[in-house]
Amino acid sequence: MDIVLVGGGHAHVEVLRSAAMAPFAGARLTVVARDVLTPYSGMLPGYLAGAYSLTQSHIDLRPLASRASARLIHAPAVGLDPVGRRVILDGRPSVPFDIASLDIGSTPATDGIAGAGLHGVPVKPPRRFLERWEQASRAALESGSSLRVAIVGGGAAGVELGLALQASLAARTGAGEFLLVTDDAVLLPGHGAAAARRLESSLAAAGFRIMKQRRVAALEEEGLVLADGSRVASDLTVLATGAAAAPWLGRTGLLLDGRGFVAVDRRLRSLSHPHVLAAGDTAGFTPRELPKNGVHAVRQGPVLARSLRRLAAGREAVPYRPQRHTMALISTGGGRAVLSRGALALSGRWVWRWKDRIDRRWMERYSDLPAMSGDDAMRCGGCGAKVPARVLERALARLDIPSAPDVVIGLDAADDAAVVRPPEGTVAVHTVDQFPVFLDDPWIFGRIAAVHALSDIHAMGAEPLSAMALVGLAPGAADAMEEDLVWMLSGVLSVLDSERCTLVGGHTCETERASLGLAVTGWSDEASLIRLSGLAPGDDLVLTRPLGTGALFAADMRAEAEGPWIGEAVRAMQRSNGPAARILARHGARAMTDISGFGLAGHLWEMARASGVAVRIDRLPAYPGARRLLAAGRTSTLHPGNVAALSGILDEDGADPLVFDPQTAGGLVAGIPPGRAADVLEELHRAGESGACVIGSVCGSQGPSLEASGTLRRSAFPARA
């Protein structure tokens, strides 16, 4: 079967990504695209403003198509014959298809604007728009003249691009006069009044002249002619008006909607020719009209990929269920953005950081793809190894996953990504951890994985907000996989609930060895963050729990660890570091980190180096059995690497091997101002951290160093201690 993707829009790049992860069985995939370097609309303003490079903001269809084993035909489509099932190309043979999908975007509507085609610069297609902008701005810079730019259209695209152009010109030390004209009474029709006010304020601050309820009747070489006959000078007139369909769609015989777009049902299939699908701006979604804002193109991608895969197998396409209200993140320049959703409007630098994170993550989906070939690669990697959808659905249905007011989009909505709203005026803190299963009990393993992942947030003095689960399940019967998934996620939720952290999504796949991890987002007032670099001479170093999990579980894998040893460690590893972190913060902790894979020595060296101080270790608490196992040579596979990393800094022969032992769900180590350690330890012990103790001190500021006192020499610990 031949599946032809016409256009390289946002929905189609997701289809290619899906095919790169798991080839479409029984189908040959072909892409017909006018441009092989397609910009991501969410990052185009940032690219113009200099926030992103070309490669960061554009998707290269060539490697993507290659990894998807898809043919790429670099040519514009100029027609489609749905009866003869051919895609018509300009100056090329037509391309046959069994199933065709159209995602060719839209162009700005210019009906009623005379001369628009000759004197206007449409924002779409982006490649031509970028070329025209570069030509005009370069000419103005070289001549030293002020560039007069007019933006026609007061929607989100016009406002955002206008601000980006102004920032681009200013960054190149060019002078400009910017005008935005719209025939609407307000900016951003379709958005709330609060968002419109914020964006209008941004335009005014950038020096824009704004003209509302002024219809543009014609464009001339010198500028704009308004409906009342007045003229406005412009060197470059950018058209960012409402969306218009490609004219050739009207010659296809496909049923179109009232605006000329392909009329599709809820499964994105043409109402007149079901073997033709359409997505993004190309689709006229008949169940209800959708805005042409790019959001739906992105969200339709996974639905389209799944539908094409099912159609190739002779099955029915799946429906697209759009949200009633979508969220828009609109950049305003200067590292700021506005969030608009219904009547809600928020703005600030955190919105830009959030938008930046979302956009970068979306782009990474299409640049970080492993090369795959053969049946073995399909089994063990990529989306071809995803846990069956029904297994995931049943497992999630059995879990009590709470919602939270900060979660805009979570597991209760079938969207591509979760959306959370950090408290206003705070910074977002991010971390991710994942490791293979090392316990037979998946519920306990889930708890330990959650504690481990949250610890980085706690160590920064931040509070966890949301988490995404990364689950690898060993292949097996569907019922068994479902049970393992339910057990692991139940354990995760039991820890997340105690820390008021919401599970908002995740990813599942089949792996040779089961694994679990979490990507966690937290929040904090920026001034309250606790960094590695805050140690000061005289500080006491407080460690909240014993060491030795690396040796214990290395031995446990060989059946050489005693049950009580593992039991005590497992009980401690299930305790969240949140309460301890809050105690340490209340008592003025100046620097703090959690002890994980690099061992105590590795993490203390990071703190010493960041703070420029000398650190001395005087004592080390250990879990029962840990020292005996280390003396017998039972070390984790990471242990030698930790020793090598500190070569020349801390001599292996002069230190207790416990300092190099990698920890899972380890405790916290913090620098506490002099005179406060006793109170800190009393509170930690009451909170359940009975092994907490002072392990050393910061002994000078003559430069970073790490030393172990004489009491920690290896000879001080007999083999059966």
Q: 3-state DSSP call for residue 107? A: strand
Sort 627 into a burial class: Cβ within 10 Å, 0-12 / 13-18 / 19+.
Answer: buried
Output the DSSP codes for 104-119: ---EE--TT-BTHHHH
Reference 347, options 365, 329, 372, 326; nearest CA is 329
Q: How far apart are CA 617 and CA 693, in angstroms?
A: 12
Q: How far apart are CA 132 and CA 569, in angstroms?
A: 65
What residue has token string 């043919």? 71
Q: How far apart are CA 571 and CA 624, in angstroms?
A: 13
Taken as a whole, the chain contains a residue count of 721
Q: What is the DSSP code (8-state) at residue 255? A: -
Q: How far apart are CA 245 and CA 258, in angstroms?
A: 11
Handedness of CA 710, 712, 718, 721 (dihedral sign): positive
Tokens read off for 224: 């704009």
Q: What are phi and psi of 204, to 5 degrees?
A: -65, -40
Q: 3-state DSSP call for residue 162? A: helix
* Residues labelled as active-site residues: 383
Q: What are phi and psi of 5, to 5 degrees?
A: -95, 115
> Greatest CA separation found in the chain?
97
Q: How far apart are CA 565 and CA 634, in angstroms?
A: 14
| CB neighbour burial string for 103-115, b if at least 16 within 10 angstroms, e if fewer | bbbbbbbbeebeb
Reference 426, options 328, 520, 521; nearest CA is 521
How many other C-beta atoms lie within 10 A of the C-beta of residue 215? Answer: 14
What residue has token string 């464009």? 219
Strand order across the 77-81 sheet: 77-81, 86-89, 95-96
